[in-house]
Structure 1
Amino acid sequence: MSSNENSNDRPITVGVIDDDPMICQAMRLILEDYSAGRLNVVFTCTDGSQAIDETSGHHPDVALMDIAMPGMDGIETTRRLRALPRPPHVLILTSLSPSGTVERAIEAGAEGFVSKTDAPEEIIRRITDVCVGLPQFNPASQRQLINDLNTQQPQSRRDEARAMLDALPEREREAVVLAAEGFTNAEIAERMFISERTVKAHISSAADKLRMGRVQMARLVERADLPERL
């Protein structure tokens, strides 16, 4: 951002991007009427391509970005704005419905979220605070990010556990899975058509490779949530 960004002698410049012209007009009125001259809306537009052109020309300090737009959506537009030589801060202007929206927006370079239904003073505060490097997450965006992470974490842990088991030789893996399912060494030997001594060797070798004891390996199999065998 420019060196004037934190200066008190000029307003913070803002671009508003939303596919609904009424939202653009309402945001312009809110930001300019309630900010007592602290904010200046330098452009509004209704699609991503125009947003890139307007931002390149006006160099706003902050872009308020809708997500659901025809053609280039708000996340891709955010990514392109943040790649400009003089990138604006981007606050997502949204009602946050699709799962994954928050995480995808952050990955694209957004620094926070503003609800279209937030009070004017709250929207203005978020715009001024993001300019001094404070990420802006309203309660709705915080809840969604936590929900998304909680949804993804078990899947990530499952995939990691499956990869660890898949790295074992097939017969060792089979012995470990059967042991985790509660079968004794004798029962495993019978099912695998091998001796108990070989079962012990398979499980011991797998334990060395995984650096785990028998109980830990059972937990690993549980976490892997393997498909049921026919």
Structure 2
Amino acid sequence: MDSERKPVRVVIVDDDQLVRMALRLVLEGEPDLTVVAEAADGDSALAVVAEQRPDVVLMDVRMPGRDGLSATRELLTRTSPPRVLMLTTFDSDDLVLGALRAGALGFVLKDTPPAKIVEAVRTVAEGNPALSPVATARVIAAATSGTRGSSREAARERLSTLTERELDTARAIAEGLGNPEIAERLHISVATVKAHTGNLFAKLAVENRVQIALVVRDAEG
């Protein structure tokens, strides 16, 4: 890693002080990460982010007052918003999906091993989704299992703009496959997968792979 590169600036948002302390210890043990502030609720998070302008916000979903979902939605409407990585448990699947639809780049569970949390923060800081395929599939399935009617038709209309290969790529993404796995399945190069994914972002008007998966699940679920 380039020693001259500035550390990734992180804000931790959680109403549990012990959780914040633990996350700070984990993140600040890494030379390329630095915690610039903490917040205990969504309103404080909005103020702190405006002041500190971090690269990544590690945001708890459930908090008293303004929750993480509401705070995330507002953050992502701002000019040059930070990357948002949701911190959650599986009992808040519905809220996580709302945040992902709004543009959050991923989520980690509160019992995730420290090394994986560090990896997720780095991944999100680079603008890439940090999502466990198994966890993603569970969350998406839970939120879209009842999709019917106009929502399904709207999603199908969006998919109708895709080429056959782009649709194959979108379906593979919805299964939680990474670029190498998609390339192997479709017998194409990883570079071609990336090109198809870029086209999907533009044609479906989405910002990350989870939102691609949501369109597919809405259309075909």
**TM-score by structure 2 length?**
0.63
5+ residue gaps, structure 2: 154-221
Distance of 2:41 and 2:151 partners within structure 1: 40
Kindly indicate whether the alpha-carbon contact (under 8 Å) linking 2:88 and 2:96 is maintained by their aligned counterparts in 1: no
Kindly indicate whether the alpha-carbon contact (under 8 Å) linking 1:13 and 1:42 is maintained by their aligned counterparts in 2: yes
Equivalence for 1:17: 13
Distance of 1:121 and 1:148 partners within structure 2: 29
Equivalence for 1:170: none
Number of residue-to-residue matches in the alignment: 151
What is the DSSP-based 3-state SS (H/G/I as helix, E as strand, rest coil) of the residue aligned with 1:110?
coil
What's the Cα RMSD here? 2.2
Q: Residues 115, 7 of structure 1: CA spacing in aligned structure 2 closer, same or farther, 3 A cutoff? A: farther
Question: How far off its partner does 1:159 sit?
Answer: 8.8
Of 76-85 and 63-72, the range deviating more from structure 2: 76-85
What is the DSSP-based 3-state SS (H/G/I as helix, E as strand, rest coil) of the residue aligned with 2:38?
strand
Kindly indicate whether the alpha-carbon contact (under 8 Å) linking 2:83 and 2:124 is maintained by their aligned counterparts in 1: yes
Equivalence for 2:94: 100
Residues 1:76 and 2:70 are matched in the alignment: yes
**2:21 is matched by which residue type in structure 1?**
Q
Kindly indicate whether the alpha-carbon contact (under 8 Å) linking 2:9 and 2:34 is maintained by their aligned counterparts in 1: yes
Residues 1:43 and 2:10 are matched in the alignment: no
- Superposed, 1:43-192 pairs within 5 Å as 43-138=37-132, 139-149=134-144, 151-153=145-147, 155-156=148-149
Question: How far off its partner does 1:8 sit?
Answer: 5.3
What is the DSSP-based 3-state SS (H/G/I as helix, E as strand, rest coil) of the residue aligned with 1:152?
coil
Question: How far off its partner does 1:144 sit?
Answer: 1.5
5+ residue gaps, structure 1: 1-5, 161-230
Kindly indicate whether the alpha-carbon contact (under 8 Å) linking 1:90 and 1:110 is maintained by their aligned counterparts in 2: yes
Distance of 1:131 and 1:158 partners within structure 2: 32
Question: How far off its partner does 1:38 sit?
Answer: 0.9
**1:145 is matched by which residue type in structure 2?**
I
What is the DSSP-based 3-state SS (H/G/I as helix, E as strand, rest coil) of the residue aligned with 1:87?
coil
Distance of 1:97 and 1:60 partners within structure 2: 28
Distance of 2:92 and 2:142 partners within structure 1: 12
Equivalence for 2:23: 27
What is the DSSP-based 3-state SS (H/G/I as helix, E as strand, rest coil) of the residue aligned with 1:113?
strand
Highest relative contact order (Cα 8 Å, sep 6+), 1 or 2?
A: 2
Kindly indicate whether the alpha-carbon contact (under 8 Å) linking 2:69 and 2:96 is maintained by their aligned counterparts in 1: no
What is the DSSP-based 3-state SS (H/G/I as helix, E as strand, rest coil) of the residue aligned with 2:9?
strand
What is the DSSP-based 3-state SS (H/G/I as helix, E as strand, rest coil) of the residue aligned with 1:22?
helix
Distance of 1:57 and 1:159 partners within structure 2: 41
Distance of 2:68 and 2:151 partners within structure 1: 32
Distance of 2:151 and 2:9 partners within structure 1: 46
Q: Kindly provide the CA deviation profile for residues 167-186 of structure 1, in whole angstroms up to 9, marking residues without a partner as x.
A: xxxxxxxxxxxxxxxxxxxx
Kindly indicate whether the alpha-carbon contact (under 8 Å) linking 1:30 and 1:120 is maintained by their aligned counterparts in 2: yes
Q: Kindly provide the CA deviation profile for residues 33-53 of structure 1, in whole angstroms up to 9, marking residues without a partner as x.
A: 2x2x11000001101111011
Q: Residues 40, 99 of structure 1: CA spacing in aligned structure 2 closer, same or farther, 3 A cutoff? A: closer
Question: How far off its partner does 1:80 sit?
Answer: 1.2
What is the DSSP-based 3-state SS (H/G/I as helix, E as strand, rest coil) of the residue aligned with 2:86?
strand
Aligned-pair identity in percent equals 36
